[in-house]
A = this chain, B = another copy of it.
Amino acid sequence: MAINNNNSDNSLPESVVPEVVIQRLPLYVRVLTQFSSAGEEVISSEQLGTRLQMTPAQIRKDLSYFGRFGKQGRGYNISMLEEKLRTILGLDRTWNAAVIGMGRLGRAVVSYPGFAPEGFNILAAFDASDEIVGQTISGLQVESISQLSQSVIDHDIKIGIVTVPIDHAQEVIDALVEAGIKSILNYAPLSPQVPEGVTVRGIDPVLSLQSMTYYIK
C-alpha cells in the first residue's frame, strides 16, 4: 500500500497524514529526548507505549506514515528517530513568533523561559494601548498593532500568539491572518473564525477544568 510520504513539501493543501497523528509526534519527540539524555540508544514501541500510555501498535502505525525507522528484533535508534521526527515536524530549525496583547497574560508569555530552548523565539510584542506601546518588556520594545504587517515581514515572523482580551481577539486574529500568518496560538477564550490554511491552537485552562468537573461526582 505504502503511499509514498516524502518530506518534500508539495503545495498540495491536504496532507494524507491525519491531524491526530501529527499532534502525537511532539509527544514522541519529547520522550525520545528524555530517553536519549538518560543514555539509552534504542527503544521499542512497547517502551514508548508504556511511557505514553498508548498501545505499541498505534505508535508503529503513526511512524509508518513517514517511513520505516525501526529494526525488527531491536527497536528504534533513539537519536536517529528523534532527528527524523524533528525534521518531519519542522523542528530542525527555529521559528520566530510575535505576541499580541501585553497585559498580564502577554507579559507572562514573553517572559516564559520554555519557548526559546525549543526553538521558538519571540521577536516582537504588540499592544493597542498607547500607555504600553513604546515600553520595553522582557527586552522587547512594544509596538503598535498598526505596525503588525511590517514587523511580520521585518522579523520573518511565522507564528502569532494572541493574548488580548476576548473582545479584541477576533480582530487581532483577522489582522494576523491579513499579515500572512498561518499559525496562531490563541490564549483568548473563544473559538476564532479563520480561513482555510490557517492553523489555530487554543490554550484554555478554564475549558479544561469545565470538562473535568463532569467526572468528579
Chain A residues in the interface with B (C-beta under 8 A): 1, 3, 5-6, 8-9, 14-15, 22-27, 29-31, 51-54, 88-91, 95, 97, 104-105, 108-109, 111-115, 118, 120, 158-159, 182-183, 185, 189-191, 193, 199, 201, 203, 205-217
Contacts and interface: CB of A to CB of B under 8 A. Distances in A.
B211 A185 contact: no
B115 A216 contact: no
B212 A159 contact: yes
Nearest to A89: B214
A103 to B, nearest CB: 10
Contact of A90 (B97, B158, B207, B213): B213
B114 A104 contact: no
A207 B213 CA distance: 24
8 contacts: A5-B53, A51-B191, A104-B108, A104-B112, A114-B206, A182-B215, A185-B205, A203-B208
A190 B52 CA distance: 9
Contacts of A114: 189, 205-206
A210 B53 contact: no
Contacts of A97: 209
Contact of A29 (B112, B120, B210): B210
Nearest to A20: B1
Contacts of A25: 210-211, 214
A163 to B, nearest CB: 11
A3 B27 CA distance: 10
Contacts of A24: 1
Contacts of A112: 104-105, 205
Nearest to A93: B213
